Each structure stands twice: as C-alpha cells, then as structure tokens.
C-alpha cells in the first residue's frame, strides 16, 4: 500500500521545474532489517520528500524539502508547532482534586496521554483512563506538561494562570501524529541511505532504494 502511495506521489510531483537535481538520488528508499516495522523515504525530483513509519496500529508521516550536501541528504519540514494539544476550557469544580480531561472523537486514543507537573516541589505523573480522565489529590499546579504516548517526542507545556480552577479540558491538535524533521541527515551511498530514523531511537539504519 505504501509503495503504491509513494509511486502516485512520485508521478504527481515529478517535474523538474528547471532545477538541477542528481537524478540518481531520487526514488523510494525502504527500511531494512527491523522486524514488524515498515518505514521509508520518497525523495522527489522537485526537492520535496515524504516519510512514513508503520508499526502495528501506529502510522506516522512527514514531509518537507531536501537538499544534497557533501554526500548527505538534509531533510527539513516546516517549523514544528509549539503545542500539540489545545486547551479548550477550565473551571472550578467542587472537590479537593485536580483533574485533566482529554476530548477526542477517536476513543481508542484517550487512554494514552501522560500528564506531568510539580506541586510544592514534588513531581507528579498520571495517565488518562479510557474516558480521557486523570485526577490528582490536592491543588492545581502552576504549569503542566502533556505528552501523547504514541508520539513521545512531543511535549506540550501549559501555564495554568487561573489559580482557582482545578478542572482542565484539552484536545489533540490535527498534526499530533505528524513528523517534523529539522536538519535530519542521511548519508547517501549508491542506492542506500544510512542514518537515523525520525521515530525510532538509537542505532544506524539502512534504507535501500526500491
């Protein structure tokens, strides 16, 4: 399926627009040697790229511009948004706890949001339940961090300015699954790209041209 999508994208974006491009580099490159994981890059002749990552039920994608320099491909997306969640509303409720709720139509995602904060110098952490709720005994913090477990590189910091409120509702931003690359480098070696993976940590991965 991904190969078909990449091929369609390649045909749509494949005009040169007067640029001088090393045509040996352009094409589809697929991750090798990682069990139960599909990932790769489409390097287009118009200096754009697409990236995909698929592992189990998790699918993530990215896109942007590439350039060649000193034997490397350097990939850059548009600037990453500062926040991957939106604060919908907050209010005071009559209890002695601090509650965070995540609103999301896809209920399968609700139980995978982590909340971190400090109160009186003590760190606290909780994970939302199947209804998107997590509560903590005690007062509300001055700020908190929200992280989606499927996208652990994304942390959204919120300052909670209304000290009387102890109930906050958030939602995912539409781009929460998107990958944003910043000077991501891949060594070009014939029909092989060598380097990291935007989703997986550690190691040096090999992507072979299709």
Residues 125 and 99 in one domain: yes
* Torsion sign across C-alpha atoms 42, 74, 201, 31: positive
Sheet holding 113-119, edge to edge: 122-127, 113-119, 143-148, 155-159
Instruction: State the total domains in the chain.
Output: 2
C-alpha to C-alpha distance for 153 and 179, rounded to whole angstroms: 9
Residues 7 and 49 in one domain: yes
Percentage of residues of the chain with pLDDT beyond 90 = 80
| pLDDT at residue 22 tops 80 | no
Residues 190 and 156 in one domain: no
| For range 157-184, the mean pLDDT | 95
Range of the domain at 66: 2-77+179-209
Find the CATH number of the domain harbouring 113.
Answer: 2.60.40.10
Residues 165 and 131 in one domain: yes
Residues 163 and 199 in one domain: no
| pLDDT tens digits, 34-61 | 999 999 999 999 999 999 999 988 899 9
Residues 162 and 107 in one domain: yes
Q: Which of 25, 111, 15, 145 is nearest to 102 (CA)?
A: 111
Return the number of other C-beta atoms located less than 10 Å from residue 115's C-beta: 22
Residues 62 and 135 in one domain: no
């Amino acid at each position: 399926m991904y190969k078909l999508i990449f091929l369609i994208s390649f045909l749509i974006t494949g005009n040169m627009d007067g640029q001088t491009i090393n045509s040996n580099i352009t094409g589809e490159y697929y991750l090798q040697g990682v069990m139960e994981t599909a990932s790769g890059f489409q390097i287009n002749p118009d200096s754009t790229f697409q990236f995909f990552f698929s592992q189990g039920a998790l699918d993530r994608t990215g896109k942007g511009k590439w350039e060649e320099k000193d034997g490397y491909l350097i990939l850059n997306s548009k600037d990453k948004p500062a926040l991957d969640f939106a604060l919908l509303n907050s209010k005071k409720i009559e209890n002695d706890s601090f509650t965070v709720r995540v609103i999301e139509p896809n209920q399968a995602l609700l139980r995978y949001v982590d909340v971190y904060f400090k109160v009186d110098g003590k760190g606290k952490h909780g994970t939302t339940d199947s209804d998107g709720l997590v509560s903590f005994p005690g007062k509300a913090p001055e700020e908190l961090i929200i992280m989606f477990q499927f996208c652990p590189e994304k942390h959204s910091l919120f300052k909670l300015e209304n000290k009387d409120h102890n109930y906050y509702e958030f939602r995912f931003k539409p781009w929460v699954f998107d990958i944003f690359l910043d000077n991501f480098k891949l060594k070009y070696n014939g029909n092989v790209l060598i380097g990291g993976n935007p989703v997986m940590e550690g190691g040096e991965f090999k992507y072979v041209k299709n």
